[in-house]
Amino acid sequence: MGHARNTTAMHQSMRCGARTRKGAPCQAPAVKGKTRCRMHGGARGSGAPAGNQNRLCHGLYGQENIAKHRAVMDLIRRSEALLADLT
């Protein structure tokens, strides 16, 4: 081998600010102009689409379902109280 590689710019570049599964900081270089590497969200096109359409897949936590759940739980509590008063 014997030839020198110019890796100075690579070693001096900003590092990704993400944490790995072990809790250690990611050692990959950040994408130019971003704070994350290509694997942690710095790549073009990564992240949620405009308008946050990702949440609409099931609607489990939507306002309508939360209101229905509260109404059902209130009905159950009142029914249990009524049954307790009858016995």
Non-local CB neighbours of 42 within 8 Å, separated by 6+ positions:
16, 30, 31, 34, 35, 36
Do both 58 and 87 map to the same domain? yes
Condensed to tens digits (0 to 9), the pLDDT of residues 50-80 reads 776 665 666 777 788 899 999 999 999 999 9
Domain count, the chain: 2
- What does pTM read for this prediction? 0.44
Q: Which domain range does residue 29 map to? A: 9-45
pLDDT band at 11 (very low <50, low <70, confident <90, very high): confident
CA distance 75 to 69: 10
Q: Is residue 3 in some structural domain?
A: no
Non-local CB neighbours of 37 within 8 Å, separated by 6+ positions:
16, 18, 26, 28, 29, 30, 31
pLDDT band at 24 (very low <50, low <70, confident <90, very high): very high
